[in-house]
Amino acid sequence: MNMLFYFRHQAWTRGWSHLTAYLAVGCLSLGLLTACDDHSSSNRECADGTSCESGVCDVEAGVCLDPACDDGVQNGGELSIDCGGDCGLCLAGKPCTGPEICASGVCLDQLCAEPACGDGVVNTEQEACDGGGIDTATCDQDCTLPECGDGHVNAAADETCDGAGVNTVDCNADCTLASCGDGILNTESGEECDDGGNDTVDCDANCTLAVCGDGHANFAAGEDCDGGGINTVDCNADCTFASCGDGIPNTESGEECDDGGVNTAACNADCTLAACGDAILNTESGEECDDGGVNTAACNADCTLAACGDGILNTESGEECDDGGVNTAACNADCTLAVCGDGILNTESGEECDDHGIDTVSCDSDCTFVSCGDDHINHTAGEDCEAGGVDTLYCNYDCTAVDCGDFYVNAAAGEECDDGGDYTADCNADCTLASCGDFIVNGAAGEDCDDGGIDTVGCNFDCSAVECGDNYINTVAGEECDDGNTSDGDACSSDCQLSYCLAVTNTPGEDLPGPNWFDACVTAPGTRVQVTLLDSSGVVVYEATGNKVGVWTFDQITSTASNEYQYEYNNHDRIIVLDNGDLLRISGRAATNGGCGG
């Protein structure tokens, strides 16, 4: 295979020019080369830089070139493209593997960079230092030397702030943060003093001047407490601890007064206002005792010692009342309630005597003297009852019980007489006047019976026994008449029943006894007529009994007809007046069809 080799030699001595030899040979065709295609020398033929050791090919000449500091390829002893090594330091933009080959001394992202503050190299006249773009102990991030007061806070140089060399609200002039307790007085931050964060005689730990009332308890300044200049539960306004007995009234701590911890007329030793009822004995305020404002066995509610007669009712001490130790209408001198029966004679309460509430011979249980008529029954004094000295339903005027038979007539009790409880002609045993009709049978007064003054089955209205023949008709006893005898054959029978002159019963088909039946009553004994009227069915439609009116004669008969079966005939009509006032007309017809009507 024939190959073209390109040899190039460049001499760096003055006056020399390039000497180029071109050989067109086959491998070792001229016997000049001992090898071929090893890229080991210049002037070798090439088509591009890949065939050259330097990586550079003179395409027009077709030969490889030797490495050069301007051939745009890193070759020869270069450490980067056309720089480093024999070609000098690399300018900005050249590839780099470290800052040592860069003219700026800065290699960023494998490229040499322009000199700049923050590149970590002091490489400009303006830089006093370069900490790589950050604050360091010896360099600010702007490549100036750290200095308190430069307005830049360099924490690496131990600055916590930088107020440009003066105190500010947040920063001290020495570049430390303004803080109460740092020992630096910084009025801009509101400090009035700064004694290192400790309470001192003139400065509080919060860097305010020590003043009672500032709300800060500064013991070094002599304060016990500080309630902000006002009294509080624990602290007085003068910054002393609130304490009963300190002579300072502090209502916030519960004090009502403070007179130095001793009782005074207005204040108790426990700093409460002196008041009866506070359960504190304060003799300075005039108290004799104090049991809490209530009555007790030894002490009144007004703080005076309990005593009967002091005019104060104290039930706890056993008093029921207290009217000053003297008897009154409601209270005894020994402070017990004035009560009849207490055994204490209290005339102020109206008592005349007092025998412990029981009746005695001389004293009633109501504490009045015994007296019949006083409306109090005192059996011990012999009284049975009490009616105020007058007769009543149950009591005689002399306080003896009403008793029929005591021979004293008590009209108020209903007595009409009193004959000792016996029946006499004018007095019953129940002390009522003997009188027929009083339902009391008084034989001494002639009574056989007494059914209240009316006829009964066994007794007549006049208290005589019922007897047929006594000439008195007792219809209740069944008598129809009584003519004073017990003989038959007259108008009244022996059993005091009426004898009828004529009894007429009108029934269909029954004949009357004849046209002269009226004559039967003319001469017959008796004065009564009994008539019973029946209808065609035999039912009684009228029944009556009446007295005969005079003697019946034909001249006294009135002829009238009243219905179909009763008509004028032979003048056989007779008017009879009945007991109830009805007029009964008895009419006669032919003997073959007699009848009665009314």
What confidence tier does 113 reach under pLDDT thresholds 50, 70, 90?
Answer: confident
Is the pLDDT assigned to residue 160 strictly greater than 50?
A: yes
pTM of the prediction?
0.36
pLDDT in tens, 261-293: 999 999 999 999 999 999 999 999 999 999 999
- Would you call 596 exposed, middle or buried from its count of C-beta atoms within 10 A (0-12, 13-18, 19+)? buried
What's the confidence (pLDDT) of residue 508? 47
Task: Identify the residue whose tokens are 């005079």.
Answer: 550
Q: Which residues contact 398 (CB under 8 A, 6 or more apart)?
A: 372
Q: Which of 290, 318, 317, 322 is nearest to 304 (CA)?
A: 290
* Angle at 437 (CA atoms; ends 431, 441), nearest 5 degrees: 60
What's the confidence (pLDDT) of residue 586? 53
* CA 125 distance to own-chain centroid: 93
In angstroms, the CA 422 to CA 408 distance is 13
pLDDT in tens, 525-537: 555 655 555 555 6
Q: Which of 195, 163, 198, 158 is nearest to 178 (CA)?
A: 163
Higher pLDDT, residue 461 or 72: 461
| Highest-scoring range by mean pLDDT, 10-19, 52-61, 550-559 | 52-61
Higher pLDDT, residue 499 or 133: 133
In angstroms, the CA 346 to CA 160 distance is 103
How large is the average pLDDT for residues 86-108? Answer: 89
pLDDT in tens, 331-346: 999 999 999 999 999 9
What's at 41, amino acid-wise?
S
Integer distance in angstroms from the first to the last C-alpha of the chain? 197
